Amino acid sequence: MGSLQLQSIRKSFGNQDVLKGIDLDVKDGEFVIFVGPSGCGKSTLLRVIAGLEDASSGSVRIDGKEVSAVPPAKRGIAMVFQSYALYPHLTVKDNMGLGLKQVGETKAVIDQRVAKASAMLSLDPYLARRPSEMSGGQRQRVAIGRAIVREPKLFLFDEPLSNLDAALRVQTRLEIAGLHRRLKATMIYVTHDQVEAMTLADKIVVLNAGQVEQVGSPMELYNKPTNLFVAGFIGSPQMNFISAEKLGQSGAKTIGIRPEHIALSREAGEWKGKVIHVEHLGADTIVYLEAETTGLLTVRLFGEHAYAPDDIVHATPDTVLMHRFDAEGRAIS
Amino acid sequence: MSNARTAPVRTALIHLALLSYTVIALFPVFLTVVNSFKSRAAIFREPMAVPSPATFSLIGYETVLKQGDFLGYFQNSMIVTIASIALVLLFGAMAAFALSEYRFRGNLLMGLYLALGIMIPIRLGTVAILQGMVATGLVNTRTALVLVYTAQGLPLAIFILSEFMRTVSDDLKNAGRIDGLSEYSIFFRLVLPLVRPAMATVAVFTMIPIWNDLWFPLILAPGEATKTVTLGAQMFIGQYVTNWNAVLAALSLAIMPVMILYVIFSRQLIRGITAGAVK
Ligand SMILES: Nc1ncnc2c1ncn2[C@@H]1O[C@H](COP(=O)(O)OP(=O)(O)OP(=O)(O)O)[C@@H](O)[C@H]1O
Ligand SMILES: [Mg+2]
């Protein structure tokens, strides 16, 4: 009851093409995450789906029904904004109930649905407050509550957690994951945060400059990126890219190897190099080294390691996990 | 009471500047009010003195209330001013909303066209306006004044309000659209309350020139039934003899309503309710 199909969606502002033909198929109940660099058109795409912006061409279907001529309120969607966007003059309860009031639901129905949502999000003590009397985390929960109350087919989230501090972000992320399990609704979620993307998504859509680079499950994107952009965008720290020439390999232009797939040793290994910087993160140690053959390499080691700048080390890549890309940046399988 | 941000000398200088400005600004008002309570001879003998039991006289106020229909003049001024402010705020806000919210062809040109009136004084068109009013039979009506003042106030109102409306969060308006609010509800229920301080500013800027205007009442509505206070006070100023008691009393009385309106609007200026809307 909440599928979404996008067909060659294009959007231009003046002569600037922001979306350049987006095709996407979202199945009922899926949790889909849009990631991509700033300005690549994620929010614009979300607004097109919501009907807040008209696409220049292409079609949006919700539940198999073409919605290009349907206003946002009638599309069966709900949206949560980065800036919360709560109505400042209404109490929490009225904020959550406004959408239902507009479609003429009875007070009993509204009260019951608001009560259900506020119980889900532990908002009961705050129902009579106004947004200005609440903390950022509480406001974002109200915004999520306002979406739930409408019982939409499709939830749209535009970077909902980016104004929250780290601890609150983890907590709210868990709440959203729980919500998705319980409501079994389709959710589309925009984020900058890799961890959010990897942990929440059934399916990640990587966007770049108004185009879809790759669609797949988090592990597919991590293990089998189809091009250099996705390989570099997914995974942190970023994948090492080494020109194939330097390694004397033929049939590829660039070789990619993730920092966690390189082993370090003081005695022997494939690439000799000098440590230039070390970051100790407790669970991980990130070592940056200048290797003779490959140039700058990032290596991620699990646990604590006593490497220090200027140490001479030897790095050995796990050849099975290497990625190979051709001159156009496409992955070679 | 000095701390990191306020050196005592600087504070003193700032206060000195503010105090002297206050004195300069209030002095004419003070002179008007004080002299309106004195006898004619006392006004000329010692214009600076406050009324003493010997010089105190209400003759000015008596003349004002007896001669002509001053209450009626006040009523005219109030009706014209309030109706004009209301129309300027309503239409100004609507135009500003359209200009700041919707992308349409000619948006920028339209904005410039509507703001043109800030630079071109409406009085340049007096003759044409008068001809129009004569043709439509609106001469000597308050409607004529309200129409002209609305036109006069709109350019600045649109200019100020559209700048403010650009700052209202898009997300908030979009949230309203998703919740099924019509564009009118979004305008009246979400945007207007958030730009209330700007509306108050516009109201003050619009009100004062209208209340004080002599030009258009004199030309468009000089009839006894539609005279405004400023025009009414003119009858005490003659070519050879001026009844200063009455003029000063009329002016003192004319300050009151505009003061009250100002106090009402300036409270709105201070009370912003944006806090908590976004972030
Ligand atoms: N109303 C508009 N008028 C003109 N250009 C716009 C408008 N809205 C967005 N754009 C442009 O479209 C591009 C994509 O914007 P969008 O907000 O979708 O990016 P985004 O991927 O959400 O970025 P971020 O991650 O920073 O939120 C940007 O280059 C932006 O300048
Ligand atoms: Mg965005």
pLDDT tens for each residue of B147-182: 999 999 999 999 999 989 998 999 999 999 999 999
pLDDT value at B257 more than 70: yes
Counting Cβ atoms within 10 Å, is residue A52 exposed (0-12), middle (13-18) or buried (19+)? buried
Q: How confident is the model at residue B270 (pLDDT cuts 50, 70, 90)?
A: low
pLDDT for position B273: 42
Q: Which domains does chain A have, with CATH numbers?
A: 4-229 (3.40.50.300), 239-325 (2.40.50.140)
Q: Determine whether the shortest distance from the Cβ of A210 to ligand 1 is under 6 A.
A: no
- What pLDDT, in 10s, does the model give residues A20-70? 999 999 999 999 999 999 999 999 999 999 999 999 999 999 999 999 999
For residue A53, the ligand closest to its alpha carbon is 1
Q: What is the pLDDT of residues A230-278, one digit of tens each?
A: 999 999 899 999 999 888 888 889 999 999 999 999 998 999 999 999 9
Whether residues B179 and A98 touch (CB distance < 8 A) is answered with: yes
Cβ-based interface (< 8 Å): residues of A facing B = 47, 50, 52, 71-74, 77-79, 81-89, 98-99, 102-103, 130-134, 136, 139, 146, 150, 163
Measuring CA to CA, which residue among A72, A67, A120 is closest to residue A96?
A: A120
d(CA B34, CA B55): 11
| pLDDT category of residue A186 using cuts at 50, 70 and 90 | very high
What token pair was written down for B250? Answer: 């009329």
Q: Residue A227 carries which DSSP code?
A: B
pLDDT tens column, A73-124: 999 999 999 898 999 989 999 999 999 999 999 999 999 999 999 998 889 9
User: In angstroms, what is the span from residue A187 Cα to ligand 2's centroid?
Assistant: 17
Looking at residue B62, its pLDDT comes to 86
- Mean pLDDT taken over chain B: 87
Dump pLDDT digits (tens) for B8-45: 888 899 999 999 999 999 999 888 888 889 888 888 88
Q: Where are the beta strands (DSSP E) in A31-76?
A: 31-35, 57-62, 65-66
Q: What is the pLDDT of residue B278?
A: 42
Residue A15 parent element (H or E): none
Ligand 2 (single-atom ion) residues, CB below 5 Å:
A 43
| Per-residue confidence (pLDDT) for residue B271, from 0 to 100 | 56
Question: Residue B85: is its pLDDT beyond 80?
Answer: yes
pLDDT, mean of residues B204-232: 89
Question: Does ligand 1 lie within 6 Å of residue A191's CB atom?
Answer: no
Q: Quick one: pLDDT at residue B3?
A: 63
Beta pairing partners, A316: A263
Computed over every residue of chain A, the mean pLDDT equals: 93
Structural domains of chain B, ranges and CATH numbers in brackets: 1-57 (no CATH), 70-278 (1.10.3720.10)
Enter the DSSP assignment of B237.
B
- Tell me which chain B residues have a C-beta less than 8 angstroms from the C-beta of A82: 171
> A131 contacts in B (CB within 8 Å)?
276-277
Chain segment B243-252, per-residue pLDDT in tens: 888 888 888 8
Task: Write the pLDDT tens digit of every residue in B96-113.
Answer: 999 999 988 899 999 999
The DSSP call for residue B105 is: T
Q: Which single residue is written with the structure tokens 């030009």?
A: B215
In sequence order, which residues have a C-beta less than 8 Å from that of residue A311 and are 6 or more positions away? A266, A274, A275
Tell me if ipTM is over 0.90. no
